Amino acid sequence: MLGNLIQRKSPTLLVFVVFPLSLLVAIALFTQSVLATESDFIGRWNLTLFEVDGYASAWLEIKPTASKNKSGQLVWIFGGAEPLEDVSITEGILSFSHQFMGKRLHFTARYAGNTLTGTATDHRSTIRWIGVRAPELRTPTALRQGAPLALFTGHTLSGWTLRNGSSPYCWHIEESVLFNDHSCADLRSNVNFMNFHLHLEFRLDDEGGSGVYLRGRYEVQITTDGNGQPGTRSTGAIFGHIAPTLSVGKQPGEWQTLEVTLIGREVAVRLNHHTVIANERIPGPTGAALDSNEDRPGPIMLQGDHGRVSFRNIVITPFLNEIP
């Protein structure tokens, strides 16, 4: 099932009022007159899912087109941005289809008050969700570099918890190296950051993968792609959104260096001393994000459920700034 629905009931006061027929007709005509237009749905939307276990964020983009056939893309729960099927806007209702984990989901949404309210349904269950317009996140000016902060000292996991807030029982330290059990969970910093420069070193210890989540929302991919053709799922990519320009990842067992600068939406990524992303704008959250609140600071999060990975020398330098 897509999610376990939780039904909540609350006391309701029922009030019966007899309306004149003319008033009911007027209300119906008014409702029809304010149906959402196509332009109301166009743009990028940050989604929050209700009554689901685990991941509860997603991202949607509906693109403007001159033709009747609309297009868009979706990050649904986890995974990368995927193109949408059968996008239509009819009588104030947005609808489209999406393949997820072997199932065809049917989405519908209504627009009101600059908000989308929708559902995702398969043959067994329904997930309710709400969407708000993605913030612009203008690039700040007057940046001042703060003091570097060692997020991992090599001696203790103080300052870190699992993504669900529990103790990091499946992460360990040995010889100043942080590593996870093969079957583990994501590890997040207790301190949140907005604009920063992050430095760390990582090593994949098997054929699995990992990722570093910026603000808990944007995953910098770590995988065992070696020197293959770079894509949006290669090492150094903003997963599913931005591909690196170079493939400079190393083989499992070798230490690698990752440096990331994030200011507003603009991201720069250096992998093994090569610039692989140069000040590109991140469209929106990636799969398995902590939340979709892009206008808020968030933690550094290390993905720990895709295989054995090691980290060391995790240092973040926050930027102090004024928003223009």
DSSP 169-209: TTEEEETTEEEE-SS---EEESS-BSSEEEEEEEEE-SS--
Within its chain, how far is the Cα of 314 from the centroid?
22
Q: How many CB atoms lie within 10 A of CB 164?
A: 9
Q: Look up the CATH number of domain 21-133.
A: 2.40.128.20
Give 21's pLDDT tier (boundaries 50, 70, 90).
very low
CATH architecture of the domain formed by 141-322: Sandwich (2.60)
Q: Where in the chain is the domain with CATH 2.40.128.20?
A: 21-133
* Biggest CA-to-CA distance, the chain: 79
Report yes or no: 169 and 222 within 8 Å, Cβ to Cβ: no
Report yes or no: 304 and 171 within 8 Å, Cβ to Cβ: yes
225-267 pLDDT, tens per residue? 866 789 999 999 999 999 999 999 999 999 999 999 999 999 9
The CA–CA distances, whole Å, from 273 to 182, 277, 281 equal 28, 12, 21
143-170 pLDDT, tens per residue? 899 999 999 999 999 999 999 999 999 9
Average pLDDT for 119-132: 96
Q: What's the chain's average pLDDT?
A: 88
pLDDT at 139: 84
Q: Where in the chain is the domain with CATH 2.60.120.560?
A: 141-322
Report yes or no: 296 and 227 within 8 Å, Cβ to Cβ: no
